[in-house]
Amino acid sequence: MFAVSYELPKNKEGMLTITNQLGEVVYTENRPQWSSICNINVSKLPQGVYLLTIESDGKRK
């Protein structure tokens, strides 16, 4: 498990996505507005390098 801290634009929701090295989406979750800490259980994912993105209001980080 790991924690992600994020801040979204005011009154906006976001989509958290984790992709593997092949570009395959392995996890998605809608996230509520504003600032938050999200705990994600990745124990079932194989070892490797993953990319985490948060998209809100058409912007991706």
Give 45's DSSP letter.
S
| Angstrom distance (rounded) from CA 42 to CA 56 | 23
Residue 33 lies in a domain: yes
**Does the pTM of the predicted model rise above 0.85?**
no
Question: Is residue 9 situated within a structural domain?
Answer: yes
**51 or 4, greater pLDDT:** 51
Domain that holds residue 7: 2-56
H-state helical runs in 1-61: none
Task: State residue 47 phi and psi, 5-degree precision.
Answer: -60, 145
Residue 61 lies in a domain: no
Q: Is residue 20 part of a domain?
A: yes
Report yes or no on 40 lying in a domain: yes
Single out the residue of 36, 33, 31 nearest to residue 15, CA to CA. 31
User: What integer pLDDT is reported at residue 7 of this predicted model?
Assistant: 78
22-61 pLDDT, tens digit each: 999 999 988 876 667 888 898 999 999 999 998 988 888 7
Number of structural domains (the chain) is 1
Structural domain contains residue 32? yes
